[in-house]
A and B are shown apart, each in its own frame.
Chain A
Amino acid sequence: MRIIGLAAVLSLSLGAAAASETKVRIGYLTVDQPAPPVLSNLDPAPEDLGLAGAQLGIEDNATTGRFLNQTYTMDETRVPEGGDALAAARALLASSPFLVLDAPAATLTAVADLPEAEGALLFNASAPDSALRDADCRANLLHTIPSDAMRTDALAQFLVQRRWTDVALISGAHPRDTAFADALRASIAKFRLKLVGESDWVFDADMRRNASAEVPLFTQGFKEHDVLLLADEIGDFGRYVVYNTWLPRPVAGSEELVPQAWAPVVEQWGAAQLQSRFEELSGREMQPEDYAAWAAIRSIGEAVTRTGSAEAATLRDYIFSDAFELAGFKGSPLSFRGWNGQLRQPIPIVTDRAVVATAPLEGFHHQGNELDTLGRDAPETACTAFGG
């Protein structure tokens, strides 16, 4: 028993953790964005999308922190459409240098450029825009949501592996759709697939009634193809295309077979535990935005655990060091790209019922980390803010 007595003393000064309490305060900012009109009423977005993931991240951090005398609190602010997002960000940054954002790209860069954000650690947990990882990047802005390019590269790898090389594309008109279509085209070129035809979704009829009559004719014009890709990120028309195509072809992209940061069907690598913790907390299934917010909060927590510090500069250094690894329930350790602040991560390619594959797929090699076959790699990036 003497051993145990000694141990009790030692445990108080465990590792890097300080004996005194480390308090970590994290801001969470939601900037409401107008929901575009869609044909179906089936899938209303949950009110707490993203936020619930952040709350779970705080709980997970707190459980670990309990053993290290580290506590976590989160201040949440929601800015309605047309509200002053910058003022809200300033207020949150006044009390903490850690800020997780669910906001559009323009707001993210504006917040990152605030004088109050200098030296802060901001996490983009919702905006997939490629530009944020390229020319519009900021050294104080990290990204836990994958870029469109990461998702479309994942899908392209799957198509290559299946030898479904000839693809056709239908794109919606919303800016999210056109951005995703751009990313699909870039991935098609990167992985040497062949785009045999493209159309814009132009219907103004109610497809809930007309899809079986209209879509076959609409897709009849495409040259022979293996797969039909859809860029319908707002979830407007895609569901009416499936099984209504002229040729019997699988549908992929925004609908049916979808590359996602996270999905309720992910269950391997201990993911079932994360899913059940999330469902217990929120009463619903975990979505990609929830996962990204969880990963942001957990990244802060992991860095605090390992360094025993709550200083933004110390945590940033640790997060960008080789030592940082986040166990993200996707089979590989997650880490941040030093050239643009993007969280590198596997991308599950899912249907509503199962994970069909997880990218990077076998055979897609990279000289450094195979996760970097997805999205903007160091030699390609136009981002210079990280000193690259």
Chain B
Amino acid sequence: MLRLTAILALLASPAAADEIWITNEKDDSISVIDVTTLEVTRTIPTGERPRGITFSHDFSKVYICASDSDAVQVMDPVSGEIMHDLPSGEDPEQFVLHPDNRRLYIANEDDAITTVVDTETRRVIAQIDVGIEPEGMAVSPDGKIVITTSETTNMAHWIDTGTEAIFANTLVDSRPRHAEFVKEGSELWVSSEIGGTVTVFDVASQAEKAKIEFEITGVHEDRLQPVGFELTPDGKTAFVALGPANHVAVVNAETWEVEDYLLVGRRVWHMAFDRDHKRLFTTNGVSGDVTVIDVEKREPIKTIKVGRFPWGAALRPTEG
């Protein structure tokens, strides 16, 4: 193991290019993709069933939801070593790191709970009762609001981070999966997998503002299942993964119109941009690969084989 670590450290040490980290849910591993060569450069073992993945703000630590190990693992991204586990509650699926770089809000899928953990003291600060099968997690840029979406309760729960208590609940279409604050935190977007929609909320009033719908000729509407999504930094364009429809929708985030559909791998789930948002990396669960999309041209340019059931994706910039 020591020798392996040494090799890993060696491989990682040159002033290498940025990386995209992919969790492989059914392989208990992470595939690290070099953004320049678009090759997998490292495969790092993790706990059981890794799903959510996020870096600390200085990228010195990477947090991994090891769902079946009932832990959030904290890894040194240089060595690939697990530094320690955080108490996470049962079956952590997805999480979000607060702008304070300290509080981690974790969705406990099997327990209908959102757990708040202090990553420094490694203690649980609060557990908040939410709906059934919490999954999507988002935090507002000012850090005042955290969102948990619950898949079977079909709600976005609005958590006040001052009190760690829910202050509002808003219904969305069936099986909400992913949430993001966008446009400087003025809007909240929530995808609904079975409902086949993305709901846009006005954050100040929590009122529904728009609903984005999808349509691909030749693909039955039941297969259009929006899951993960990301917006370009200008807030003008959204990329929405459509699950078993095997496409990513390109949405005009100002008119809510879908402008394009890009064919990617099978059961596309989550995604991450590279540093300058020129390329987008999508995880394709069933085909076990990652599609690289040229953001400006809006076309897929490469498929990269990773582990079984790639789930989460996160950017790790490297200095150089």
Q: Is A236 an interface residue (CB 8 A)?
A: no
Q: Is A305 an interface residue (CB 8 A)?
A: yes
Q: Is A8 an interface residue (CB 8 A)?
A: yes
Q: Is B220 an interface residue (CB 8 A)?
A: yes
Question: Would A4 and B144 count as touching, CB distance under 8 A?
Answer: yes
Q: Complex formed: what's the CA distance from A369 to B220 in Å?
A: 9
Q: Complex formed: what's the CA distance from A130 to B1 in Å?
A: 63
Of residues 1 through 45 on chain A, the ones whose CB sits less than 8 Å from some CB of chain B are 1, 3-4, 6-8, 10-11, 14-15
Question: Would A3 and B153 count as touching, CB distance under 8 A?
Answer: no
Q: Is B247 an interface residue (CB 8 A)?
A: no
Contact of B168 among A8, A66, A325 (CB under 8 A): A8
Question: Would B206 and A10 count as touching, CB distance under 8 A?
Answer: yes
- CB contact under 8 A between A64 and B206, given known A4-B144, A332-B222, A333-B195: no
Instruction: Mark the stretch among B50-58, B76-84, B156-164 that contacts chain A.
Output: B156-164
Question: Would A333 and B222 count as touching, CB distance under 8 A?
Answer: yes
Q: Which residues from B are CB-within-8-Å of A15?
A: 170-171
Of residues 320 through 336 on chain A, the ones whose CB sits less than 8 Å from some CB of chain B are 325-327, 331-333
Q: Is B155 an interface residue (CB 8 A)?
A: yes
Q: Complex formed: what's the CA distance from A15 to B194 in Å?
A: 20
Question: Would B152 and A60 count as touching, CB distance under 8 A?
Answer: yes
Contact of B153 among A11, A64, A325, A370 (CB under 8 A): A64
Question: Would A8 and B222 count as touching, CB distance under 8 A?
Answer: no
Q: Which residues from A are CB-within-8-Å of B73?
A: none
Q: Report the nearest B residue to A5, measured CB to CB.
A: B167
Contact of B169 among A1, A11, A326, A371 (CB under 8 A): A11
Q: Which residues from A are CB-within-8-Å of B133?
A: 270, 273
Q: Complex formed: what's the CA distance from A7 to B206 in Å?
A: 7
Contact of A327 among B131, B166, B175 (CB under 8 A): B175
Question: Would A67 and B155 count as touching, CB distance under 8 A?
Answer: yes
Q: Which residues from A are CB-within-8-Å of B244?
A: 331
Q: Report the nearest B residue to A332, measured CB to CB.
A: B222
Q: Which residues from A are CB-within-8-Å of B170?
A: 14-15
Q: Which residues from A are CB-within-8-Å of B220?
A: 370
Of residues 193 through 237 on chain B, the ones whose CB sits less than 8 Å from some CB of chain A are 194-196, 203-206, 220, 222
Q: Is A63 an interface residue (CB 8 A)?
A: yes
How many residues of chain B are within 8 Å of chain A by beta carbon? 37
- CB contact under 8 A between A305 and B154, given known A7-B168, A7-B206, A270-B133: yes
**Residues 121-149 of chain B, each 1 if its beta carbon lies under 8 Å from chain A, else 0:** 00000000101110000000000110000
Q: Report the nearest A residue to B155, measured CB to CB.
A: A67
Give min CB distance, A23 to chain B, whole Å. 19
**Residues 97-126 of chain B, each 1 if its beta carbon lies under 8 Å from chain A, else 0:** 000000000000110100000000000000
Q: Is A257 an interface residue (CB 8 A)?
A: no
Question: Would B175 and A67 count as touching, CB distance under 8 A?
Answer: no
How many residues of chain A are within 8 Å of chain B by beta carbon? 31
Q: Which residues from A are CB-within-8-Å of B155?
A: 64, 67
Contact of B175 among A68, A270, A306 (CB under 8 A): A270
Q: Is B151 an interface residue (CB 8 A)?
A: yes
Q: Is B252 an interface residue (CB 8 A)?
A: no
Q: Is A309 an interface residue (CB 8 A)?
A: no
- CB contact under 8 A between A63 and B131, given known A4-B160, A325-B194: yes
Q: Which residues from A are CB-within-8-Å of B287?
A: none
Give min CB distance, A24 to chain B, whole Å. 15
Q: Report the nearest B residue to A276, measured CB to CB.
A: B110
Q: Complex formed: what's the CA distance from A369 to B112 in Å?
A: 33
Contact of A14 among B162, B169, B173, B222 (CB under 8 A): B169
Q: Complex formed: what's the CA distance from A325 to B181 in Å?
A: 26
Contact of B167 among A11, A60, A63 (CB under 8 A): A11
Question: Would B174 and A327 count as touching, CB distance under 8 A?
Answer: yes
Contact of A306 among B153, B167, B171, B222 (CB under 8 A): B171
Q: Which residues from A are CB-within-8-Å of B195?
A: 325, 333
Q: Which residues from A are CB-within-8-Å of B174?
A: 325-327, 333
- CB contact under 8 A between A327 and B206, given known A63-B112, A270-B133: no
Q: Complex formed: what's the CA distance from A321 to B249 in Å?
A: 28
Q: Which residues from B are CB-within-8-Å of A273?
A: 109-110, 133, 151-152
Q: Which residues from B are CB-within-8-Å of A66?
A: 129
Of residues 56 through 97 on chain A, the ones whose CB sits less than 8 Å from some CB of chain B are 60, 63-64, 66-68
Question: Would B205 and A10 count as touching, CB distance under 8 A?
Answer: yes
Q: Which 4 A-B pairs have the closest CB atoms?
A: A11-B168, A327-B174, A67-B169, A64-B153
16 A-B pairs with C-beta separation under 8 A: A4-B167, A7-B158, A7-B205, A8-B167, A10-B206, A14-B169, A63-B152, A64-B153, A64-B154, A64-B155, A67-B153, A273-B110, A327-B151, A327-B174, A332-B194, A370-B222
- Beyond the given A277-B132, A327-B175, please list 5 additional residue pairs across the A-B interface where CB-CB is below 8 A: A10-B206, A14-B168, A64-B152, A325-B174, A333-B194
B residues near A (Cβ < 8 Å) are: 109-110, 112, 129, 131-133, 144-145, 151-155, 157-158, 160, 162, 166-171, 173-175, 194-196, 203-206, 220, 222, 244
